[in-house]
Structures are given as structure tokens and as C-alpha cells.
Amino acid sequence: MTRGQRDQLDLLRGTPDRFILRSLHFGLRHGHSMAHTIRLTSGDALRVDLGSLYPSLRRLERRGWVAADRGTSEHNRRARSYRLTRAGKRRLTAESSKWGLLTEAIARVMRPREEEG
Amino acid sequence: MDWARLWHELVFVLRRLAGRRRAEHDLDEEIRAHLELETRENVERGMSPEEARDAALRAFGNVTLTKEESRAMWGTRSLEMLWQDVRYGLRMIARNPGFTAVVVLTLALGIGANTALFSLLDAILLRTLPVKQPEQLVVVGASVPGQPGRGSSPFSYPVFRELREKNSAFSGMFARSVTPMSMSGVGQTERVLGELVSGNFFSVLGVNPHLGRVFAEADDQTPGTHPVAVISYNFWQRRFGADPGIVGQTMSLNGYPFTVIGVAGQGFQGVEIGTAPDVRIPLMMDGQVRPVSGPPIFERRGNMWLGVMARLKPGISLAQAQAATDTAFQVAREPDVRRIKGDTPDDGSFKSLHIQLDSAKTGASSLSRQFSQPLITLMCLVGIVLLIACLNVANLLLARASTRQKEIAVRLALGAGRFRLVRQLLTEGLLLSALGGALGLLFARWGTGALLSFLPQGRIPTVLEIKPDLRMLGFTLGVTLLTGLLFGLAPALQATRPNLVPALKNETVVVGNRRWELRRLLVILQVALSLVLLVGAGLFMRSLQNLKAVDDGYNPDQVVTLALDPAQSGYKLDQLRSFYALLSERVAALPGVKSATYTRNVPISGAYSRIGIEVPGYQPRPGEEMAVLFNQVDSQFFATFGTPLLRGREFNAQDTPESPKVVIVNDRLARYFFGAENPLGQRITLENYQDLEIVGVVADAKYRNLKEAAPQTAYIPFAQYGTLTQRTLCARATGDASALVTAIRREVRSLDPNLPTFNIKTFADQINESVSRERLMALLSSFVGLFALLLASLGLYGVMAYAVARRTREIGIRMALGARAGNVQWLVLRETLLLVLIGVTIGLPVASVATQLTEGLLFGLTANDPLTIALATSMMIAIAALAGYLPARRASRVDPMAALRSE
């Protein structure tokens, strides 16, 4: 498998990770509000599978893209909140542009080609 | 590879591992917080608290699974399991100390032997020279095409000079000549190893000084005018205690003063593996340390004293360089071919010599030529032994696994994954091999020392530095891992598929006809491989025996030899004459000395001379090379060495410079040239020695080595010629020869306290040393063979004992039905012998192929020597029968009643 092919597969497989990174773009969050943000910003079209949210967060943490802070939530409960690290921000930027290319490509493929029709 | 990211992950994993409890707590808290927030929101949407909680849980999914998966993301699980496996493995190892000891010792011997041999092999054959771009270096040699290389110093100075001037293929070409010298002027007079080198030696090699400077071209221009020396780093450390003030000091080499201008770089011993010169001086100073009478050595075409090496120009192939150099060589030696004069080296194919280039990446070494085949053979032998050790340990592990069948069955029944169990058993195997490897390293240290003592120590001492280094550790680690996997895998796979139900019910699993179970196959393999080793060992032992039984033509016991070189210390001819006469007179007068004499070359020491011969009336056949071996000796030589005088007389006091010149020849020479005629009184000419009268004929005696048939040899007396050559004093004792050494040295010291003596040994030792390679092979291969035999018989014993234990009931029934002890014994023995015979049937063809490797190393027999093969086979069968007899006897003592009642 070439490097490029592998990147493209990752692009699809890593989609939930990308949402998580994106939802952290505007600052500190904890898991619950991340799920909310994703649901809201997508107009309720996308739901994060909660069962994979927390494992994903651990994975992103291990990769060094997000960091966890121990803080208190709005209701004064102790909870971990996450923020993007510098590496995470770089990753997000790179991913976003790649994502843009991919969606564009998919859109072009899916659009009926009129000259043949 | 993204190292930063890898590093980050590693730190993360380790931190999690350390703070595991806290991380668990965090995860619990986090999920609880999530659920609470969700519940609260649901309540705000108007659900009842219970509904809200249920909805939150439903939305979340499987909490436990999420936790599990999150934990997996920490990446610590595999490490945790590994740690569990290791702890468990260590407990198992500690619980069976006897078992562990046997396994670890077996592995340690196998791994140790492999490591020791590898380090020697590495030092002699594999390691590259510590110089700049060693792959460009070549040894420039001269050889007859189709024949292996001749001496290491094949060039005279005029030929070297011309080759160097006309060279087009090399970026540099240097010459060197190694010679022992006596050093004085700085503390005690000492014999050191010197090397005369051309001025570009260091620059072509790219070796830099550690202190001061090394030679430049300007240091090697005009004969006798460059009294400068560069000492080696090791010599500087050892002899001068790393004194930084050494540069500028004066030392005297063979009586001539030299100024030390530098210390060569650390780690550089020399270009020849095993030869480590202490002091280097320019070639042009040869006349000062090795004075010769007559024309200077730099003009002599007959003295081949230079070894030549060169550095290939980039982009030029070895073949191109060889062709170019050969053209120049043939032109340069044209005068030599026309008139061969002086001591031509070696045999008579001088005219068909051609240049041969060999890569000197790993150094120019006679050691590697001499020892590469034996070392590779031995490496194969110890490799096989390690394989046998692995088979043996695998067998033991299998046996133990059967006793652990219940434990394993319980774990499998409780849902342990097979992979997990295999992994755990493998971990145990690796722990055992790691212990074996660690102990093996220790064994290897001793082994290497023992191996080094087998290297030849001639005129030039062999120095090999073998220290445990990364290569050696890497090799051991690799071998250890490999063995661990090799012997661990099969038992692990077999053990983890037990028959669950009977195992759990604590029943002995009665398997139908499992005659060909894994353990038996392993034993058969062991027997086959051991037989290969035994045949090899037998071949080498019998070779050595043959060599020792050879009639060398001497009576070597009670002779002691001691080399002297007063000419190197500045003695002139007349001084030499009186010194030698006085010394032999005094030594002969010592109590316990029967006779004393001198010789130019000690027989069987590797030193020899060859000389052209003319016999009036003898017509050489076309192409026949008229040359014989030659030695210069003193009176009493033949009496001292115990060579019988067949006709005429020994040299004696009648032979003086003024008397008619005489010669003694050996029987072979006499018969060859004179046939039935009486050789006494005949006249022959030996190159520079004209018209010699034969006054004696002696029995044939070996000269160069024990393997070669006694060559035609002529002897002339020292007494009739003035000569500066080094001599060896030889004395025959009435009793123990080694006791004489001190007394003889005292005599030498009383004549000249500063004269170094060297190569002091008994002649019997000398002969022994000449077969050191054969002794090494015989000793090591028989050690290896016996070890393998022991392991194979242990394996056999184990399998048979287990079989008997398993069949106790059956045997009891047989005996109850009237079988006699003999029948039962035969039952077991028959099975043992069957295994052995199958092993032998596999082993013999393998051996006959494998021993082809040893062909060139044998003496007096061929690789498929029937006697050796028969001996090895019967030894194998006999030991195997013994290994089978013990369980057989136990079987025959089974008490039928007890056996029947046991279940």
C-alpha cells in the first residue's frame, strides 16, 4: 500500500477523531459537552457514539494531540476537561485541508456528469 | 519514523503504568460526571429522575465496555500482561530449582561455546581493520595461479620500488617487514616486535598519531639517515605507562639509537590480524637494525623481505588493478627470472608467479588463512550442539508440560485464551534462555581464553585482543532469543491443546498409539545430530593420533631450544664466533646436559631454508626444479636431536674455515642423486656454497612440518663460514629438559647480561605446537561430541522413563499374565533401540555430507573413514542402550499387584 493510499484510508477511519478535535477548537471542553457540540453544530445530523468517545479521547491523549486538565464542571463536579495541544492544532489544520480535498473529490464523483447524460 | 511522537507515546504509556490507579479513578469519575450531566439535562427536559437516569445510561451504551476500551487505549495492557507473565514465569522457575539448573546449564554451555567461537571468528575473520575506508585496501601478493598464496613477504626492494613507481591503479602502495628487535636505552633491555615500514604507511592507511607525529615520505628517503620511530598505543601504555613525555626520547633498537617521534592512534594494532608490532621504523633503516655484509638490501634482488599492501583508487576494480600491477610486476622482475640467485622463497614455480590482489578489509593475515576453515568448521559444530541443547530443553519442557496439564486445562476451561497461554509458556522459555545466555557469557569468557592459547606462538608472537564488545553481546542476545523461541514454541503449542475432560478429572491421559509423539521425534533428531558430531570428533581425534604417531626422525624428549641473535645487539663476526663457541662449551659442561649444538632453523618450527643444488653427473629432467631444503648446524646436531647417522661422520672440530668444505645429506637426497652408489666422498654444489664433499648421511627427518614427508635435505656446518644469522642453541638433557632452562639462561647472562633470549621451549613442545590447530580441532570437537552424546542420552532416558511410567499398568498386567523380567526389559529396550536406529539412519548420510567440510583438515584418513564411522555409531548405540536400560530395569521391577491396584 502506498503512503498516499494509507493516508486516504486514515482520512475516513479517523472521522470521529476529527470531530472531536474540531469540537475542541474553541477551547476547553469535557466529554459531555463535546458530544453536545458535535450534535448541535451538525444540526443533529451527526451523533457521536458515546461508547467510542472516551476511548477516542484516550487515544488522542496518547498521541499528544489533546491534553487533559483536571477541573470542575459547571455544576461543581470534578471532571476532566480537554484542550487541543499545539500538535493537535497543527493536526487539525492539516486534516481540515485534506478533508476539504476529499469532500470536494467525493462531490465531484457523485455529481452526475451532464455531458455524458 | 516519527521519533518525537514515539517518544511521547512511550512517556505516556509509562506514566499511565506508574499512575494506573489514579487513571482508573479519573476514568470512573469522568463517566459518572457524564451520566450525571445527561441525567440532569433529561430532567430539565421533563423526565422523571428514574427515567432520566435510564435514558442517560441507554444513550451511553455499555459502560463497562467503554471503560475496558478506554483502558486499552492507554496502551499499557500488553505491558501489564507481559509483567504478569514474567512474574509467573519466575515463580515457576524458582519452584523447580533442579529442572531450572539442568536447563540453564545446558543452554549456558551451548550459548557459551557459540559466543566464545564467534568472538574468535569475529576477531580473525570478520572484523574490519580500524583504518580509513578499509574496503579499499588490498594485499599485493605473488602466487602461481591455481595454487594458494605463498609467503606474506614476496617482494624484494627493487621490485617494490618499480611497482610503486609504475603503479596506476592505486592511490598509495606501501611495504612493510615485521621483525623482532631488542630494545635498550630505556630501562631493561627487552625483545620487542618491530615493523619496518615505507614512509607512506600511515598516510595510506589513514592512521593518525595519538601523540607527536607519524612518518611522512620525508622520513624514508635515504638508507641509514632516518633514525626515527613511532611506537604503538598499546606499547606506550604498557611499557611507558602512557608517559606523555615519550616523544623526543631516544631508544636503542638492536643497538642503534632512534628518536621516538610519536605514538600511533589508539586501537590500531597493525595491518595483520594477530600481529601487533610495538615499534615502527622507516624501511630505510633496515641496514641499521639488520646489518648485512655485502651490498645493501635495497639493491638486492634476491632478498624477498617485503609485504606489500595498497589502496585502490576509487572506481578501479580489483581485477583491473590486478592486471595493471601484474604487467608492471613481470617487467620489474625480469632480471630475477633470468638469474635466480640467493635464497628464493618456497618452491620452484618462481617463474610462473603472477600478482594476486586480495581484499585486506579485514586485514592481511596468515592467521585467517590458517584458521578460517577450522574456525568455520568448529562454528558449525557448536551450532549443532546448541541445536541439540535446544531439542533437549524442548523435550524437558514437554515432559514438564505434561505434569502441568491439569493447571493448563483448568485455565483453558476458565476461559483463558490459548494465545495468552502460549505467550506465557514462551515467556517462561525466554526467561530460561536469558538465564542460560547470561551464564553462557561467563563461560564464553573462559572459553575464549582457552581458545586463544591454541594460537601459534612462533618467532612473531600472536596477539589477539578479544574483549566483550557490542558485537559479541548482540550475537549472544540474538542466539539467546532464537534458542528461547526454538525450544519454547513446540512445547507451548502442544501443551495448550490438552484433552480437557480427562485432564480435569485428574486421569492420566491414555492415548492410543502415540508412538510418534513430538518427544520421540525430538529424541530421534538429537541422536542423528549427535552422531554427526561424534563422527566429526572421531575424525579429528584420529587425525591427531596419526600425526602424533608419525615418525619425525627425531628423539624430541629431553631437548630444549633457546634462540639468540647477538648480531642484532651489534656483535661483529669474530665476536660472534668466540661467543657461540664459548656458550656451547659452557652449556655442554653443565651437569645434566648430554650435548649442545646450534641450528639455523629449528625443525618443525615453520622456519626453513631452501637452496638450489647441482650434482655433477646428474641430468635434471626438463622442468625439474633443482632445489632442496637446507639447514646450517653445528657439530653434535644429529646427536642432540636423536637423528641416526647412517654413514660417515657428524660435523666436528676438523671442520674449520680453512679445511675442505663439507656437507651432510639425508638418506632421501643421497638415494635420489646417487642411487646405490656410495654417496660419501661425492661432491655437490649448493648455490653459493661451491663444491662440497659429502661426509655423512643421516636418516630422513621431517623438516617443515609433520604432515609433509621428510624432504631432501642438506646440512652444512656453521664452523666453516662466517655468518650473522640468528641461531638457536639446542641442548639434550640427561633428565628433565625443562629443568635446564634456568641454568642455560644463567650461562647466557654470565656471558652478556644484555643479550635477549627468546623462543625458549622444549623440542617436544615445539612439535606439539606445530599441531596446535589439529589439537584444537580434536579437543573441541570431542568435547562437543561428548556433550551432544550426553544430551542425547539424557533425552532418550527421559522419554523412555516417561513411557515406562505411563505404561506401568500395562506392564503390571503383562507380568501378572506371566511375562518375565527379561521380556519386559526387552520390551522397553527394543523401543529405545528403535529410536536410536532411526536416528542413526538419518544421521549417517548427514554426517557423510557434513564431514566433507573437514576434508582439508584431516591427516592420514579421509572424511568417510569406515573405522571412525563404525566407532562413532557403536558408541552412540552403546550409550543409548545404557540410557534405555535404566528405565527397562525399572519396568521389570514393577510389582504387578501394586500396578493393578493403583487405579
pLDDT digits 0-9 by tens, B20-42:
777 777 788 888 888 888 888 88
Q: Confirm whether B223 is domain-assigned.
A: yes
**What are the residues facing A35 on neighbouring strands?**
none
Contacts (Cβ under 8 Å, ≥6 apart) of B505? none
Chain A, window 62-81: residues with a beta carbon less than 8 angstroms from a chain B beta carbon: 62-64, 68, 70, 73, 75, 77-80
Contact B499, B408 (CB under 8 A): no
Q: Confirm whether B709 is domain-assigned.
A: yes
More confident residue, B225 or A22: B225
Which secondary structure element, helix H or strand E, spans residue B86, and what is its range? helix B77-95
Q: Confirm whether B95 is domain-assigned.
A: no
Report all structural domains of chain A as residue ranges with CATH numbers, in order of start: 3-111 (1.10.10.10)
Question: Could you tell me the maximum CA-CA distance found in chain B, to the nearest angstrom?
Answer: 139
Closest chain A residue to B34 measured between Cα atoms? A32
CB pairs under 8 A between A and B: 75
> In terms of domains, do B662 and B630 share one?
yes
**Three-state DSSP state, B843:** helix
- H helices then E strands: how many in chain B? 28, 21
Distance CA B440, CA B436 (A): 6
Encode pLDDT of B729-750 as tens digits: 999 998 887 778 888 888 888 8
Contact B629, B668 (CB under 8 A): no
Encode pLDDT of B57-102 as tens digits: 888 878 888 877 777 776 666 777 778 888 888 888 888 888 888 8
For residue A28 the three cell numbers come to 476547553
> In terms of domains, do B332 and B379 share one?
no
Distance CA B340, CA B350 (A): 9
Other Cβ atoms less than 10 A from the Cβ of B670: the count is 24
Distance CA B425, CA B410 (A): 15
Q: What letter would DSSP give residue B96?
A: -
> In terms of domains, do B604 and B738 share one?
yes
Q: Confirm whether B274 is domain-assigned.
A: yes
Query: Is the pLDDT assigned to residue B344 strictly greater than 50?
Result: no
Residue B412: φ, ψ to 5°: -65, -40
First to last CA, chain B: 63
Q: What is the mean pLDDT of chain B?
A: 84
Are B29 and A80 in contact (CB < 8 Å)? yes
Q: Confirm whether B107 is domain-assigned.
A: no
Question: Which of B361, B384, B412 is at the close of a domain?
Answer: B361
B886 Cα distance to chain centroid: 39
ipTM: 0.74
Asked if A49 has any chain B CB less than 8 Å from its own CB, the reply is yes
Closest chain B residue to A59 measured between Cα atoms? B73
> In terms of domains, do B673 and B631 share one?
yes
> In terms of domains, do B626 and B724 share one?
yes
Query: Is the pLDDT assigned to residue B691 strictly greater than 70?
Result: yes
Residues of B within 8 A of A55 (CB-CB) are 66, 69-70, 72-73
Q: Which one of A58, A70, A78 has the shortest CB-CB distance to B73? A: A58
CA dihedral of B764, B770, B772, B774, whole degrees rounded to 10: -110
Are A49 and B26 in contact (CB < 8 Å)? no
Asked if A51 has any chain B CB less than 8 Å from its own CB, the reply is yes
Query: What is the DSSP track for B238-251?
Result: HHHTT-GGGTT-EE
Q: What local confidence, expressed as pLDDT, does residue B870 receive?
A: 94
CA dihedral of A30, A31, A32, A34, whole degrees rounded to 10: 80
Distance CA A106, CA A101 (A): 9
Distance CA B530, CA B785 (A): 7
Are B66 and A59 in contact (CB < 8 Å)? no
Half-sphere exposure of B899 (CA within 13 A, CB side): 21
Distance CA B537, CA B548 (A): 17
Q: Confirm whether B814 is domain-assigned.
A: yes
Closest listed residue to residue B424, CA positions, set B412, B413, B414, B438: B412
The alpha carbon of residue A66 is apart from the nearest alpha carbon of chain B, in Å, by 12
The alpha carbon of residue B46 is apart from the nearest alpha carbon of chain A, in Å, by 18
Q: What local confidence, expressed as pLDDT, does residue B800 receive?
A: 86
Q: What local confidence, expressed as pLDDT, does residue A46 receive?
A: 67
Encode pLDDT of B375-430 as tens digits: 888 899 999 999 998 888 888 888 777 777 777 888 888 877 788 888 888 888 88
Question: Which candidate in B11, B30, B44, B63 is best for mutational testing of the A interface (most A CBs within 10 A)?
Answer: B30
> In terms of domains, do B184 and B325 share one?
yes
Query: Is the pLDDT assigned to residue B361 strictly greater than 90?
Result: no
Sign of CA dihedral B187, B192, B197, B201: negative
Q: How confident is the model at residue B516 (pLDDT cuts 50, 70, 90)?
A: low
How far is CA B334 from each of CA B114, B158, B398, B547, rounded to the nearest angstrom? Answer: 50, 11, 73, 42
Q: What local confidence, expressed as pLDDT, does residue B498 receive?
A: 61
> In terms of domains, do B542 and B637 share one?
no
Are B69 and A62 in contact (CB < 8 Å)? no
Q: What local confidence, expressed as pLDDT, does residue B342 receive?
A: 40
Are B33 and A79 in contact (CB < 8 Å)? yes
Are A55 and B60 in contact (CB < 8 Å)? no
Backbone region of residue B298 per phi and psi (left: phi > 0; alpha: psi in -120 to 50; beta: other values): alpha
Contact B740, B733 (CB under 8 A): yes
Encode pLDDT of B846-856 as tens digits: 998 888 888 78
Encode pLDDT of B425-451 as tens digits: 888 888 999 999 999 999 988 888 888
> In terms of domains, do B576 and B516 share one?
no
Distance CA B412, CA B409 (A): 5
> In terms of domains, do B329 and B236 share one?
yes
Are B69 and A78 in contact (CB < 8 Å)? no
Site of grid cell 637494525: B289
> In terms of domains, do B295 and B157 share one?
yes
Distance CA B903, CA B899 (A): 8
Whole-model pTM over 0.80:
no
Q: What local confidence, expressed as pLDDT, does residue B172 receive?
A: 93
Asked if A39 has any chain B CB less than 8 Å from its own CB, the reply is no
Distance CA B86, CA B98 (A): 20
Closest chain B residue to A55 measured between Cα atoms? B70
Other Cβ atoms less than 10 A from the Cβ of A76: the count is 7
Asked if B882 has any chain A CB less than 8 Å from its own CB, the reply is no
Question: Which of B317, B335, B361 is at the close of a domain?
Answer: B361
More confident residue, B507 or B330: B330
Q: What local confidence, expressed as pLDDT, does residue B462 receive?
A: 75
> In terms of domains, do B198 and B345 share one?
yes
Are B61 and A50 in contact (CB < 8 Å)? yes
Question: Which of B26, B44, B75 is at the close of a domain?
Answer: B75
Domain coverage including residue B64: 3-75
The total number of structural domains in chain B stands at 4
Per-residue pLDDT averaged across B545-559, rounded?
85
The alpha carbon of residue A105 is apart from the nearest alpha carbon of chain B, in Å, by 29
AA letter at A96: S
> In terms of domains, do B345 and B312 share one?
yes
Q: Confirm whether B708 is domain-assigned.
A: yes
Q: Confirm whether B125 is domain-assigned.
A: no
For residue B670 the three cell numbers come to 643421497
Distance CA A116, CA A111 (A): 12
Distance CA B638, CA B553 (A): 10
For residue B467 the three cell numbers come to 574483549
Asked if A86 has any chain B CB less than 8 Å from its own CB, the reply is no
